Amino acid sequence: MRLLVAVDAPREPGKPVLTTIVQGIDDGPVHHFGDVLTGLGWSPGMSRTMVEAIHKRELARAYAPHRLD
């Protein structure tokens, strides 16, 4: 988990959380993604629903520059 936090540290406004591209089963976040977010400055103890919403948003932001609309 520390490696995933290190990938995105320091957290910068406007920069997507790139560790979202490491996905778990069913294309959702890896089991410890909430801990990664906490390591990056989000509040600890977020619900799984909140973690999944952040994952979905950050995944879209990570891939946005590469979209071929």
Residue 67: pLDDT above 80?
no
Query: How many domains does the structure of the chain reveal?
Result: 1
pTM here?
Answer: 0.86
For residue 25, the enclosing domain spans: 2-66
* 66 band by pLDDT with thresholds 50, 70 and 90: confident
Q: Look-up: residue for tokens 């979202």? A: 20
- pLDDT reported for residue 69: 65
- pLDDT reported for residue 14: 87
- pLDDT reported for residue 12: 87
pLDDT digits (tens, 9 = 90+) for 12-63: 888 999 999 998 888 889 989 999 999 999 999 999 999 999 999 999 999 9
Distance, CA of 32 to CA of 14 (rounded, Å): 23
